[in-house]
Amino acid sequence: MTATRRPRRLARIFTGAALAVGALLGAAAAPAAAYDPNPDAAVTYRQAAGGSVGADVALTQGGSRLGEVEFQPETQQLRVYDTRNDGDTFYVHVSSTTNGVTHNLGTYSAPGSEAPVDFLVKDFHLAKGTPLDIEVFDDAGLTDYIGGARGTGAAIA
């Protein structure tokens, strides 16, 4: 090996080692990872006045409550509760399909804070009888589905 190649080779080795150490330190300092495995999602429906249907999605893991999502048709409110201050959250996507056309009503999550329970309340103004799909995901990209109230018998405004 020539004298000019040796310093370049050493520089590449040190650069690679520094990048590897940086990646390890960055992973250690990252916030809590997504739930693995996904929490259990128990869906409860309740009849409301005028044929409306409310839906509650309770999220638990290892016997501990992580959060809850409620749709209350009387007030047309979606309520998202994150009951574990663990640096992770879940995402609630709400949509409605009428006459074969799906309408995206938004994606919501409880704001992160130091409070023991974080919550978000979203008011909807929907026509009476509007069916809602409520899907709970473990990631903001909406690719890791946990559970929800979807399809026939889901929430109805």
Reference 108, options 76, 82, 73; nearest CA is 82
CA-to-CA distance for 6 and 101, rounded, in angstroms? 65
* pLDDT, tens digit, 9 for 90 and up, residues 98-131: 888 999 999 999 998 888 899 999 999 998 889 9
Q: How many CA atoms lie within 13 A of 79 on its CB side?
A: 18
What is the reported pTM? 0.75
CA-to-CA distance for 134 and 29, rounded, in angstroms? 33
Tell me which amino acid residue 20 is.
A
* pLDDT, tens digit, 9 for 90 and up, residues 23-66: 444 433 333 446 778 899 999 999 998 889 999 999 999 889 99
> Which of 11-20, 62-71, 94-103, 135-144 has the weakest average pLDDT?
11-20
Rounded to 5 degrees, φ, ψ at 139 are: -140, 150
- Show the tokens assigned to 124: 């909807």
How far is residue 100 from each of residues 62, 97, 103, 131, 151, measured CA to CA in Å?
39, 6, 10, 12, 12
CA-to-CA distance for 156 and 55, rounded, in angstroms? 9
